[in-house]
Amino acid sequence: MAAEGETGSIAGTVSAEDGKPIGEMEVCARAVDESSYECVPLPDGGPYVVPNLPEGKYQVGFWPIGNFVTQFWHNAPTWNQAEPLSVTGGETRGGVDATLVPGATIRGIVAASATGLPVGEVEACATSGEIERCARSDAAGEYVIDGLAGGVWNLYFYAQDAVVDVVSEAYSGGAFEVFSGEDKTVNAALGPGGQIAGTVRLAATGAPLGGVQVCVTMAASPIPLGCVHTPSSGAYRFMRVWPGSYKVVFSPEPSGTEGPNSFPTQWWGGQSTFASAALIEITPPAIVNNIDASLTALPAPATPIPPPVAKKPLKCKRNFVKRKVHGKQRCVKRHKAKPKPRHGRHKAKHQAPQSRPKRP
């Protein structure tokens, strides 16, 4: 029987299906209730031990850094499909082995269709069911995604951080199949994005207004696709906008709420609601300018005047009396008057004592 608080371990061996060196990797044990998560590095496969595991049920993952397929116990492709195993305090659960399969590789170059020039900082992601593996393009536009299991994959290029104005796109060739150990080339040419630009001004003076949040939404939903804050020039610009219909909203705060000395939320076209907002049609590479706003400041709320505080009547403690001191009522200590001497006693004090008559 395990002592209270005693932990257990999971142990096993990791090897490659083709017998090649695996290189760096990690073995991780995760509690089914996610209360515990422990990993150990494994420099080049071989035996491992994951220690210090509180009692419970665990799932185990094998994370290779090289071109091998990530695997979960027992031969599962994801955490959700991993087979749980029990860990008992003071004991080692052995035999949790894994044989890693060589992965397939997808590589290619991302370029701008308008110029043919390479585009860096595009995230290329391959997905198959719940599994996703991604890589970023470098300055030469090259990306490499490895460690893919054999099967059908979809490829998408996310360009929100791209160094040039191109839009995110799915691979135009659609889904495709790769095989274990295959090295497949998939290039992408991303189209230019549209732009939405304008200036926010103060209605009373026409002066540019900084610090206003400007958000763009699809025409069918008020959920923002992206937001910017105007600088002191009041000018803003959205880039990489794909074809479609949009609406723009101007808000004084990130939450879109209205506050003292602020501005009412306004949709483009001088409208107060999403439903009535004017549409903006984008056909890349079109640049739609003059999506401006003229905001009127809300009046500052009147500062309430606090009611006068009623003065409490002055009350003095025992042996204290009210007296005016420098024109103000104060409590001062009562002093008792000394008793005046009586004249009879005073005379008697200075008279000579009378002698008693002698007894006969």
Residue 1: per-residue pLDDT: 54
Burial of 196 (0-12, 13-18, 19+ CB in 10 A): buried
User: Which is it for strands 188-190 and 104-112: parallel, antiparallel or unpaired?
Assistant: parallel
Residue 78 pLDDT > 70, yes or no? yes
Residue 339 pLDDT > 60, yes or no? no
Average of per-residue pLDDT across 126-130: 95
The full set of domain ranges for the chain reads 12-92, 104-190, 194-295
Task: Give the tens place of pLDDT for each residue, 261-275.
Answer: 478 899 999 999 999
Residue 201: per-residue pLDDT: 94
Residue 290: per-residue pLDDT: 97
Extract the tokens encoding 359: 């007894």
79: region left, alpha or beta (phi > 0 left; psi from -120 to 50 alpha): alpha
Q: Is 255 helix (H, G, I), strand (E, B) or coil?
A: coil
Of the pLDDT bands very low, low, confident and very high (cuts 50, 70, 90), residue 299 is confident
More confident residue, 359 or 50: 50
Average of per-residue pLDDT across 228-245: 94
95: region left, alpha or beta (phi > 0 left; psi from -120 to 50 alpha): left
Under CATH, which number does the domain 104-190 receive?
Answer: 2.60.40.10
Distance CA 280, CA 292 (A): 12
Of the pLDDT bands very low, low, confident and very high (cuts 50, 70, 90), residue 302 is low
User: Which is it for strands 151-158 and 169-170: parallel, antiparallel or unpaired?
Assistant: antiparallel
> What average pLDDT does the chain have?
88
Nearest to 290 by CA among 164, 201, 213: 201
Contacts of 257 (CB under 8 A, 6+ apart): none
- Tell me, which fold does domain 194-295 have in CATH? Immunoglobulin-like (2.60.40)
The CA–CA distances, whole Å, from 291 to 48, 50, 110, 271 equal 61, 59, 32, 13
Is-same-fold flag (104-190; 194-295)?
yes
